[in-house]
Amino acid sequence: MRYRLATRGSKLALVQADLARAALARRHPQHEFVLEPVETAGDRAPTLRLTEAAQEGVFVKELEQALLDGRAELAVHSAKDLPTAASPGLTIAAFLPRADARDSLIAHDGGTLETLRRGARIGTGSPRRAAQLLARRPDFRPVPIRGNVDTRLRRLAEGRVDALVLAAAGMARLGRLDEVHEFLAFDVMLPAPGQGALALQTREGSEAARLATEVDDAPTRRAVVAERAVLRRLGGGCLSAIGAHGVIEDGVLVLAAVVLTEDGDRVVRAHARGRDDDAVITEVVATLHAQGAAGLLHLAANRPLTGVRVMVTRADAQAGGLTRMLEDLGATVRACPVIEIQPLRVDVSRFAGVDQYDWCLFTSANGVERFFELLGQAGSVMSPRVRVGAIGPETAARLRQHGVEADLVPARFVSEDLADAMPAAMVRGTRILLPRAAGARDVLPDRLRAAGALVDVVETYRAVTPADLATRLPAMLAGVDVVTFTSSSTVRNFAGALNGAAFPSDCLTACIGPITAETARELGLRVDIIAQEYTARGLVEALARHQTSIQA
């Protein structure tokens, strides 16, 4: 059978994809594996400034779309380009054995970091690299530089910069290691999470996924997954520079990470080792935060959204926090709620006996508000014996306002992850109350029931379309630069109000997560930006990253 591998078309990407093709062909000689070059957004914008942390998948999205469209069965990525959030329906089926994860220095006149002249211009498109260079040599002048390896080396030869910092793995795969003057030690420069590793992505449950799994390198997977977990737990792609590197030594994960301000003036580091990967990751992240990493992980102070006109489609009751964060970064916000929360008639006696349940699960802040409203009508209070799960931090924060601390919040803020996290916290026959919106996806109750839970679903409210939305939407859209969507409901109501009218070609769409983005695509809307953390803050950070990249 013939399997197509989607890949970027650059020389390095094709070399890397051919490594993946060869690995698959050696393991499965009965099949044919061929390369399918695809142009990505990052390739079409060679002057775009990028961080080493994947920024909304500018080198990834088109390859993923090729998988979803059936134009390819596998996609080959540099692991460092992958967004921290997985795309629905797709999986990373394999990591090939990792190459050298270090960065390398190539100097115009030779030399090392220590011997380069004072004030030397160092070419790099990475804030992570620039920050670590400045931490070592504050006199350096980082110069933004993009393009493929040949383009960058040509600019070095022309004297536009005095030196370049490039991934050692890329230089090795291109056969150009003889041009490297220094390999930068990890105590000087930690790499981007996943640097040096190649990832094979496929559709979940496909035959291609099964084949790819057989070439997976377990030590590389453990190390890269740990590095990416650090990035995600720190905020997943904020503008501050983050480096991480893991290695497996005799079955032990050794993990190091660094967080810096972009000028390299402040640096915090952490290191841990152990056989329990999650414990090691947790220790590294906790150590970074104990040293003040949170203060370094702020968005750029220059208000990157200044002049950007953003439409907020959330219901009025929920829009305040998102609006404030956008305005704090300079955006001009246009409120256009496309949903209204309509309470449903509920037999309140069902809430009088809430203490009969072992767990109560909440999938939205609106669900929390309506639950406590009904609880009050029933003359009842939340029993301390009932454990509580929240789909994400915003829902958990709303619970906290009612004096309830969530016992469980999944790592990713989607129903699938909440469902996956629950079995470890329950036994067969556990009684679960799920108050939620009418028409919500059934993935959570279905999976819980399959795991042996007794689930009572109570629909307490409905998200409806405002009566005048179709009339006022065209005028509200005029002049808007970005429309934000924070749920599948906002997308459906927005698309319904458009009623087939064309979405403005010069307006971007920004989605709070992959489920919302999937709904948008299904309804014919283009998706430009997807938050890596599925919260209002994550959505704002994604907008800020996008705007910063196009301004650079």
CA distance 142 to 355: 61
Residue 487: half-sphere exposure toward Cβ, Cα within 13 Å: 23
The strand pairing partners of 458, in sequence order, are 435
Tokens describing residue 111? 């030399």
Largest CA distance in the chain: 80
Q: What distances in angstroms separate CA 310 from CA 298, 511, 538, one per listed residue?
A: 21, 13, 15
236-267 CB burial, b ≥16 within 10 A, e <16 = bbbbbbbbbbbbbeeeebbbbbbbbbbebebb
Terminal CA-to-CA distance of the chain, rounded, Å?
45
At CA 275, angle to CA 426 and CA 391, rounded to 5? 35
Chain length of the chain: 552
**Residue 528 is among the residues annotated as catalytic for this protein:** no
**For residue 87, which amino acid is it?**
S
Q: 3-class SS at 331?
A: coil
User: Strand locations in 137-179, DSSP E?
Assistant: 141-143, 163-167
Strand bridging mode 74-78 / 2-7: parallel
Question: Residue 144 in contact with residue 125, Cβ under 8 Å?
Answer: yes
Radius of gyration of the chain (CA): 25
Closest CA to 223 of 185, 262, 189, 194: 194
Active-site option among 43, 81, 358, 528: 81
**Structure tokens of 36?**
């399918």
Other beta carbons less than 10 A from residue 288's beta carbon: 23
CA 409 to CA 398: how far, in whole Å? 13
Point out the residues that are catalytic. 81
